[in-house]
Amino acid sequence: MVCLLSDIFMPTYDGPSNFANNLMGHRLYYGFRTTIQPDRKALAPVFIDRESGKTSSFEEAIRRVMFNLKFGGPHKRVRPESFYTNSWPECFCQTSSKVLADQCPPENVMEILNTRLHIEETDSSEPITGSNVTDSVLGK
């Protein structure tokens, strides 16, 4: 939950991590805050130079590499980027769509989901009296 709702998220692993991919995709889809994906190959020589004692231009080199990054906004997916990390443009809604199914979710989507969950919990706490449990729960 902390990673999902944090102001900034930076995955620590570039490989096929389902957790990080799904989390980045979720943050992007719901318009959460910045997700930083550093170019580790470009940063490696900078840190190697620093370890070798070349510290004079370290900050400048870091800024130069970080300046060319994507910072979590929508961008066209390029292979090998995962669909789960970036589902744009296939799964993004259209703000002015006339078709209800293509419209964006409401701003208070979390509130709506919590209300539905609460209603389902309240309904399921009532005693079940029917012989068929499924029909009783569904109100049939």
* Structural domain includes residue 112: yes
- Separation CA 29–CA 27 (nearest Å): 6
* Structural domain includes residue 26: no
Task: Give the model's pLDDT for residue 48.
Answer: 93
* Structural domain includes residue 111: yes
Q: What angle do CA 87, 27, 109 make, to 5 degrees?
A: 100
- Range from 64-68, 75-79, 101-105, 117-121 carrying the lowest mean pLDDT: 101-105
* Structural domain includes residue 131: no
State yes or no: pLDDT of 126 exceeds 70: no
Q: What is the pLDDT of residues 94-116, one digit of tens each?
A: 566 666 666 666 667 677 778 88
* Structural domain includes residue 82: no
Question: Which residue segment(s) compose the domain that 114 sits in?
Answer: 93-126
DSSP of 33-70: SEE----HHHHHHHHHHHHTT--TTHHHHHHHHHHTS-
Mean pLDDT for 89-93 is 60
Count up the domains in the chain and report the number: 1
Please choose, from the candidates 12, 10, 67, 69, the residue with its C-alpha nearest in 3D space to the C-alpha of residue 59: 67
Q: Is the pTM of this model over 0.95?
A: no
Cis peptide before 80 (omega within 30 of 0): yes
- 45 versus 136: the higher-pLDDT residue is 45
